[in-house]
Amino acid sequence: MAETLKVAMPKGRIYKKAANLFRAAGLPIPTEVDETRKLVIELPELNMEFILAKPVDVPTYVEYGAADIGIVGKDVLMEENRDVYELLDLGIAKCRMSVIGLPNWQPGIQQRVATKYPNVASQYFREQGQQVEVIKLNGSIELAPLIGLADRIVDMVETGQTLKENGLVEMNEIFEITSRLIANRVSYRMKNAQIQSLCDRLQQAIAAEV
């Protein structure tokens, strides 16, 4: 009997899409799991254990081996830069990371950029040769240019509704975001057959959906 596979699942936006992808891959996650407040869910019939984590913490659990594998947005992977394997693009929870500003934005002498992703933003502006001060915020990022905290922001855009309702414009796309399957480096070797078989099943489910 193979060992239990510990899977760090992100709570929130990605969870339902990820759980449905597992179901499409022939792994029947009980629907009760979608609603539960429990944080560790044993799934003995699948030989798995789900750890329901805050999305930004998923790469940390996986890097330290508290989870063997995990599901996380490319945005978080780029920001956290953890030592994990990225195994598969799941194609779910699609959006993009962009530079956003007011329509009349002009480059000033002192430029400030607000974001939840300070590492991503700093690297981007460094590569562009632009000197900016990066200010870390934790949410409602679109507020910053509206009330004069920053000139521009780096944030996620999906439908564009938030930008539209706040009179902001997307100036440059930095990269596309989808959710990824990641693995702990040691687990990938020790539980290779299990992880590989899961990857194959997920890949088939992704291909069937396109």
Binding site for ligand PRP (CB under 6 A): 139-142, 155-162
- Tell me the closest approach of the beta carbon of residue 165 to ligand PRP, in angstroms: 8
Question: According to DSSP H, which parts of the chain are helical?
Answer: 13-24, 32-35, 58-63, 74-80, 118-127, 143-146, 161-165, 185-190, 192-209
CA–CA separation, 154 and 31 (whole Å): 35
- Tell me the closest approach of the beta carbon of residue 119 to ligand PRP, in angstroms: 16
CA trace torsion 114, 110, 147, 171 (10° rounding): -60
93 sits near ligand ATP (criterion: CB under 6 A): yes
Interior CA angle at 203 toward 8 and 25, to 5°? 70
Candidates 12, 28, 65, 167; binder of ligand ATP (CB under 6 A) is 12
Binding mask 142-161 for ligand ATP (x = CB under 6 A): --------------x-x---
SS3 content of the chain, % helix, strand, coil (to 5): 35, 30, 35
In this complex, which beta carbon is closest to ligand PRP, that of residue 88 or of residue 154?
154
95 sits near ligand ATP (criterion: CB under 6 A): yes
Q: Write the CB contacts of 171 (distance below 8 Å, at least 6 apart in sequence).
A: 98, 99, 100, 101, 105, 152
- Tell me the closest approach of the beta carbon of residue 95 to ligand ATP, in angstroms: 4
CA–CA separation, 171 and 114 (whole Å): 15
114 sits near ligand ATP (criterion: CB under 6 A): no
Q: Which of ligand PRP, ligand ATP, none lies near 56, with the C-beta cut-off 5 to 8 A by kind? A: ligand ATP
- Tell me the closest approach of the beta carbon of residue 123 to ligand ATP, in angstroms: 17
In this complex, which beta carbon is closest to ligand ATP, that of residue 93 or of residue 132?
93
Candidates 22-30, 32-40, 59-67, 69-77; binding stretch for ligand ATP (CB under 6 A): 69-77
Instruction: Answer yes or no: are the C-beta atoms of 157 and 95 closer than 8 Å.
Output: yes
Instruction: Answer yes or no: are the C-beta atoms of 70 and 11 closer than 8 Å.
Output: no
> Which residues of this protein are in contact with ligand ATP, per CB under 6 A?
12-14, 54-56, 73, 75-76, 93, 95, 156, 158, 177, 179
